[in-house]
Structure 1
Amino acid sequence: MAEIKERLLPPRPASAFNLRDSSFRPSASGRPFFNPPDFLGLKKRGQGLRSWIRVDSSGTSQIMEVDKFTMMRRCDLPARDLRLLDPLFVYPSTILGREKAIVVNLEQIRCIITADEVFLLNSLDGYVLQYVIELQRRLNSAAAAVAGEGWGGEAGNDLMMLRRRGSSNNRGGFGGGDDDRMFGSPPPDYLPFEFRAFEVALEAACTYLDGQAAELEIEAYPLLDELTSKISTLNLERVRRLKSRLVALTRRVQKVRDEIEQLMDDDGDMAEMYLTEKKGRMESSLYGDQSLLGISSAGGGISVSAPVSPVCSPPDGRKLEKSLSIARSKHESMKSSESTSENIDELEMLLEAYFVVIDSTLNKLTSLKEYIDDTEDFINIQLDNVRNQLIQFELLLTTATFVVAIFGVVAGVFGMNFTIPLFDEPSAFKWVLVITGVSGFIIFCSFLWFFKYRRLMPL
């Protein structure tokens, strides 16, 4: 694990910067002002810094220490969203789509995803390192695939941005170009950066929960089978602990499933998660405003549809700028609505795939819970059977005791201090025993017949 972390997260170079200050200024000794990274990701006393792993769209990872307020300003997030990522507290799984970021809290994966980078809480947990490695691998493979199609890394992103701007300019009437023929089209399975990072987070959470469920199954079924064959206090205690773990894991899996289902049911939340599209529209809007200002300054406020007037009036220029702005905003709203519907379908298909995975894990846990319940029912039936056998034995013993008590009654009667002629007969004692024994046997058989008639015991 240490070798993987050293290879994944190399020592910070001298050009590394703190997000609190956009420019890095080394001290007189040549050392940076910030402290070495805190691998536990906990708050430092008196500083409020926290160690984050930053992964950009090119797959480059970097460890940096950022305080909460800097991260809030950089990602445009409220403080309550950052509290969901605090490792000192245990919060249920949450997926939040914001204006410029996606806040993901899924089991060990706690990160902030933007349109260009991912901020992941630094930790020695193996799943965090696996998330970073898997994200880098997918970004590199995607860059290689895009390069094979004529799109390459950061240049491909720039080409895509220029393609969006050129397309909007062509539709808006500000110019023309054959950028579609120059740059080609993106691959059919192309996903924005935030969706790739979000997919890796979903996959890591689903894989972790499925692995926990599989381990619980491997431990549970032999233990339950042993309990059915031998009911003991030790086995019952082990099953009780197993059931507690099952309930806790089921609650966590159910929460992840509910978050995905709730996100799939809300089109607005899914539209908020498409950060690349929103960033592209914002940059296109800024580019259009710059073009509009350039045309207004070059034309001097002259209307393109009206005849040239010898006197240019500033109100006419403002009317032209306003009309062009309204037309451009309508066009962008129609284009954004169309792209939003397509992106919602794209994200919905992504969520459906992992919803099936997490639902399968929940079904495993449900089946295991049903097996435990069936085992408990079987044990209760066994205990009831033993209890019934004890009751039957107690009933037979009580009946036999009653029959034997008849001899005690006869002995008590004949032991009284009085004389009768029967005492003078030599064979009287023998006949008394025979008659008493036969009477007791008849009474005992009568009781057995009554028990069988009432179905109190199988005879």
Structure 2
Amino acid sequence: MADLKERLLPPKPASAVNLRDCSHRPSASGRPPFQGVDLLGLKKRGQGLRSWIRVDTSGNSQIIELDKFTMMRRCDLPARDLRLLDPLFVYPSTILGREKAIVVNLEQIRCIITADEVLLLNSLDSSVLHYVMELQRRLTANAVTDVWQTEGAELNRRRGSRSFDNVFQNTSPDYLPFEFRALEIALEAACSFLDSQAAELEIEAYPLLDELTSKISTLNLERVRRLKSRLVALTRRVQKVRDEIEQLMDDDGDMAEMYLTEKKSRMEASFYGDQSVIGYRSNDGVSFSAPVSPVSSPPDSRRLEKTLSIARSRRESSRSTESITGNIEELEMLLEAYFVVIDSTLNKLTSLKEYIDDTEDFINIQLDNVRNQLIQFELLLTTATFVVAMFGVVAGIFGMNFAIPFFDNESAFKWVLIITGVCGLIIFSSFVWFFKYRRLMPL
């Protein structure tokens, strides 16, 4: 039975045999040896399937499941860019222009924009759903507008009338490419979300600050402290979005990298041009498009051909980027519009912070005034205590056990009280005058 089992089962690898032998062999230090771990059985982190919402140029949406490496190959992105879209990590707002995609991380909107599609992480967040619906609505509206313009131009050409010219000249269709339309909706969603939060903070802040100035209490101070913490966090987020837009506007190369549709069309035109040249040369008698036998051609020639094709594609891409750099007015105007919006939101938050700082200064002045009044009252009370102590000194002197002829007079006690009171008033008035002279209290 044992011989049959050994014949049927596959032989064990040498590494497993050696590992098993080492596991039973005691070590020199007397400790149990390290047990091996099957790393192939462990699931690699970050490589699981994730659900994405895909929206194409026609406005059609679908849910697809892709892993990390498939997404990297599909959009030609490094792993560090996909890490920005991971909901498990908290990254500041970022807009990155790459060779074939735009990586957008603006508040709740985390997506990858290419020349043909938009990929968002599938989420039940209302901002993501609103983004998808708004993108579909605008793409559908633009498609209908393009159809109407085509039909109007055809009828105008047939009839020779100018009535359609006036109709379609009044319309203002969106001539932005697909990637800029998707980017515009993302910027609009982020700016609207931040502006709404700033407006809610203003509505809550001003009545609370007015109440604090009229009544300083521990509860009101705690509410203002929480409000200021929210304000600082929101200001930091708005400032990051503003800085990101400003950084894009200041760099023409980054803006040129974001013209994905034009780069794609140039790459396709160059590709078809190369194909036509190859076909023309093949007609002359030399065929460049025919497959080469791997036996007759060495591997070095194929590697050289691949290297030349990669270099050609990079050269064409760099040429297209240089040509686009001189024509970036569309994207610059788009970014400028939302830069004004986000700058207005930042100005609101800055004004609110200044109002909070003024309120804190006013409260500190009030507290200092109360503290000064308490110090003045303590000073007057100390002076009055010193004057009253004089009566105690006189009573102690006259209470000593020795005979004085002045005690035999019946009105002596009255004169002692009168003289002591007058001296006390004179001393108290002298102290008050000294305080006024030194400006220690406003009297």
Q: TM-score, normalised by structure 1?
A: 0.74
Aligned-residue offset at 1:340: 3.4
The structure 1 residue matched to 2:241, chosen from 252, 256, 262, is 256
Report the Cα distance in structure 2 between the residues aligned to 1:262 and 1:361, rounded to whole angstroms.
18
Aligned-residue offset at 1:341: 1.6
Q: Which amino acid counterpart does residue 67 of structure 1 have in structure 2?
A: D
Cα 1:51–1:457 change in 2 (3 A) is same
Contact 1:149 1:187 in 2 (8 A): no
The structure 2 residue matched to 1:283, chosen from 268, 281, 297, is 268
Report the Cα distance in structure 2 between the residues aligned to 1:333 and 1:64, rounded to whole angstroms.
33
Aligned-residue offset at 1:436: 0.5
Aligned-residue offset at 1:419: 1.3
Aligned to 1:56: 56
Structure 2 unaligned spans of 5+: 1-42, 153-170, 287-313
Residue aligned with 1:150, SS: helix
Report the Cα distance in structure 1 between the residues aligned to 2:113 and 2:151, rounded to whole angstroms.
23
Q: Aligned-pair RMSD on alpha carbons?
A: 2.6
Alignment of 1:444-459 (within 5 A): 444-459=428-443
**1:358 aligns to 2:342 (yes or no):** yes
Q: Which amino acid counterpart does residue 213 of structure 2 have in structure 1?
A: T
Structure 1 window deviating more from structure 2 (123-132 vs 290-299): it is 290-299
Q: Which amino acid counterpart does residue 197 of structure 1 have in structure 2?
A: A
Contact 1:44 1:50 in 2 (8 A): no
Report the Cα distance in structure 2 between the residues aligned to 1:62 and 1:458, rounded to whole angstroms.
78
Alignment of 1:416-427 (within 5 A): 416-427=400-411
Q: Which amino acid counterpart does residue 108 of structure 1 have in structure 2?
A: Q
Aligned to 1:110: 110
Alignment of 1:35-50 (within 5 A): 48-50=48-50
Report the Cα distance in structure 2 between the residues aligned to 1:208 and 1:72, rounded to whole angstroms.
30
Cα 1:44–1:244 change in 2 (3 A) is farther
Aligned pairs, number:
359
Report the Cα distance in structure 2 between the residues aligned to 1:151 and 1:291, rounded to whole angstroms.
34
Aligned-residue offset at 1:149: 2.4
Contact 2:263 2:320 in 1 (8 A): no
Report the Cα distance in structure 1 between the residues aligned to 2:129 and 2:280, rounded to whole angstroms.
51
Report the Cα distance in structure 1 between the residues aligned to 2:83 and 2:321, rounded to whole angstroms.
32
Aligned-residue offset at 1:338: 4.1
Residue aligned with 1:120, SS: strand
- Tell me the alpha carbon deviations over residues 210-268 of structure 1, each in whole angstroms, 9 at most, x when there is no partner: 11111111111111111111111111111111111111111111111111111111111
- Tell me the alpha carbon deviations over residues 149-189 of structure 1, each in whole angstroms, 9 at most, x when there is no partner: 2299xxxxxxxxxxxxxxxxxxxxxxxxxxxxxxxxx9774
Q: Which amino acid counterpart does residue 249 of structure 2 have in structure 1?
A: M
Structure 1 unaligned spans of 5+: 1-42, 153-185, 302-328
- Tell me the alpha carbon deviations over residues 56-114 of structure 1, each in whole angstroms, 9 at most, x when there is no partner: 00001111111111111100011111111001111111111110000000000000000
Aligned to 2:189: 204
Aligned-residue offset at 1:296: 1.9
Q: TM-score, normalised by structure 2?
A: 0.77
Percent of aligned positions that are identical: 83
**1:380 aligns to 2:398 (yes or no):** no
Aligned to 1:195: 180
Task: Name the larger-Rg structure.
Answer: 2
Cα 1:97–1:46 change in 2 (3 A) is closer
Residue aligned with 1:149, SS: helix
Report the Cα distance in structure 2 between the residues aligned to 1:151 and 1:384, rounded to whole angstroms.
77
